[in-house]
Amino acid sequence: MRSECYNGSGASTSSPKRRVNVVGNGRSHHHHQRQHHAAGGANTHRDTTTHDRGTDSPPTLTELPPSSGSFLHISITKLAIGSRLFVIVLQLVANLLLPDHEAGVFVAPSDKNASERPLDALVRLVLGGLNRWDGQYFLHIAEHGYTYENALAFFPLFPFILKIVCSSLSSYEVITFVSYRELSLLLAVLLNVVCFTGAAKALYRLSKHVLGNQKKAEIAVLLFCFNPASIFFTAPYTESLYAWLSFVVMYQCIEDVTSIFLTIPLSLSILCRSNGMFNIGFVLYFAVRRIVAQYNVHNVICICSRLFSMLIIVLFHYGIAQVYNYYLFCFVQKFNFPDHVREYAAEHGLVLAGNKTDDSSPWCTNLVPLSYSYVQSHYWNVGFLRYYELKQLPNFLLALPVVYLVLSNSYQYLCEHWEYALRLGLFRLTKKQHKVMRPYDRFALVFVVHALVLTLFSLVFVHVQVTTRLLCSASPVLYWYTAEYFTGERAFIKRQVIRKLSKQVKDGEENSCTHVLNHIELSDLLDFRWMNGRQQTILVYFLGYTVVGTVLFSNFYPWT
């Protein structure tokens, strides 16, 4: 849907276009702004967005600096799907041209006596480069379940969805044309394309609400679609599904933290990845914020009781998964695993489900028998500072860009709003703070703290190269920080043009404006001529990691 407005005479002008974007319900209105607000001598942006909950305010207009005069729009759906197709084509070419590396890691066992189906070779040819590293585990779990104890490091939601869909299709003739493993790979990629599209839309909605700026939300989504961990959002990994669920949880916490429907994405995010537990922090924070804003005994009782019920439901779902793990590996029992699955366990010394001995699975005797921490420590060498070895220096360098972006910008935010941060953003702003702080600054505190905790946790506990894909899938802050570099100061066009446009706006001149609802405008970000060094560096980082990561990953070379 496109909405256009012209000057009073209906004639077009040769001056740069003045765009007015809508933040709110998306309806476009004509806006007369007589006042000129300049920040740093270059920024003519005036943000009048308000974020007070409980008020039904009309849509807020955000005036942005002019574009280069041409508009290139693409819908979020097409942008998300197009970026995934780019990754798929790139891995196909790389997998055909380069030989696979002998990584010496887990490769899911297959039945060598099984007959080849007509479409198996085609699926492996087109998507084989995506079935690498942890993708082998997810597809194995989808086919055979949690046969090996080390597979408990991977949470059940993603392979469980694949299992349900594949089992449902097995009753149709499609299973006669493609084997179960290849069908799982195909469905995993399709599922991730769908989830990635949902994540892009959820991020767009969340960004518009928090940032209060249409352009920043657009650029955040555009950067998300080509983020440094792009390959993991297409391969059989949980990144796309988890990002979608997490962004939905964050948005719902802002909208109505006491909604019982919030338990659905929250529970699923915890069953998707271990760091889904951090999402509970958003629920607790916004619940406390609501209690402080609407303090009375009745509200406190209602909110706390609703919150307690939600957490019980969420933890119950998580508990079911842990009980199932206990059932598999803490008892001696017979499971009807195929011969090639048993042979692989014997060859590689893996603990097979149902083969409990006195020496295996010591976590079963713990007071709280949770398998995850033991499996991560025993099989994956995850622990406090365990990764700090000289040979891991290349992996630290791989994670350095994302660590720097998050830590430096978070430090700057906390320094600028230290007093607000000390009050946890829960209490009313002073008049001085209200004038200085943008709407984003008032909402961003919990998101900044969340990103900081994830970054610091990754640096000291987990394999540090995982930090890149962990932050890319779990936190919108990375995209907000980088979007700020492109919109904080207008560098796409010359400052003289900005001043000229500012004078025209002050004098009341009306120019054309264009806004396409639920679309991303690419013309500004593709105008490389006026980018500064920092903006070019960010684009090179995002696109470079997308290309290099896809090429290396698809040939079993180590990546993030």
What's the confidence (pLDDT) of residue 312? 93
Residue 23: what pLDDT?
36
What per-residue confidence (pLDDT) applies to 296? 79
Q: How many C-beta atoms lie closer than 10 Å to residue 496's C-beta?
A: 8
pLDDT exceeds cutoff 90 at 396 = yes
Lowest mean pLDDT among 91-95, 169-173, 356-360: 169-173
pLDDT value at residue 40:
42
Query: Residue 59's pLDDT band (boundaries 50, 70, 90)?
Result: very low
Q: Check residue 292 and give its pLDDT.
A: 85
Residue 523: per-residue pLDDT: 63
Give whichever of 10-14, 420-424, 505-509 has the largest mean pLDDT. Answer: 420-424
Give burial (CB, 10 Å; 0-12/13-18/19+) of 422.
Answer: exposed
79-83, 175-179, 267-271: which has the minimum mean pLDDT? 175-179
Q: Dihedral angle at the C-alpha atoms of 247, 248, 253, 256, nearest 10 degrees?
A: 150
Please list the residues that pair with 39 across neighbouring strands. 43
Residue 9 or 356, more confident = 356
- Residue found by looking up tokens 């997308």 in the block: 546
Nearest of 470, 522, 499, 553 to residue 133 by alpha carbon: 553
Q: Is the pLDDT of residue 508 over 60?
A: no
The ranges assigned to domains in the chain are 96-489+533-555
What pLDDT is attached to residue 521? 67
Lowest-confidence pick of 255-269, 485-499, 531-545:
485-499
- Whether residue 300 is predicted with pLDDT greater than 90 in this model: the reply is no
Task: Kindly tell me if the per-residue pLDDT of 507 is higher than 90.
Answer: no
Chain segment 141-152, per-residue pLDDT in tens: 999 999 999 999
Average pLDDT over residues 481-504: 56
Q: Would you list the DSSP string of 106-169? A: ------TTSPPPTTHHHHHHHHGGGS-THHHHHHHHHHH-S-BGGGGGS-SHHHHHHHHHHHHH
Q: Among 250-264, 272-286, 381-395, 524-538, which stretch is predicted with the lowest mean pLDDT? A: 524-538
Range with the poorest average pLDDT among 66-80, 286-300, 380-394:
66-80
Instruction: Give me the mean pLDDT over the 447-459 stretch.
Output: 95
Q: Residues of the chain with pLDDT > 70: what percent?
A: 78
425's CB contacts (< 8 A; 6+ apart) are: 289, 442, 445, 446
Asked whether residue 247 carries a pLDDT value surpassing 90, the answer given is yes
pLDDT score of 173: 65
Predicted confidence at residue 466, as pLDDT, reads 94
In the chain, the percentage of residues whose pLDDT exceeds 90 is: 59
Answer whether residue 530 shows pLDDT above 80.
Answer: no
Mean pLDDT of 226-235: 96
Query: Which has more confidence, 132 or 172?
Result: 132
> What's the mean pLDDT in 305-313?
91
User: Is residue 12 pLDDT above 60, yes or no?
Assistant: no
Residue-wise pLDDT tens digits, 541-560: 999 999 999 999 999 998 87
Among candidate residues 528, 544, 527, 545, the one with its CA nearest the CA of residue 536: 528
Confidence grade of residue 519 (pLDDT, cut at 50, 70, 90): low
Residue 325 makes CB contacts below 8 A (sequence gap 6+) with: 146, 152, 371
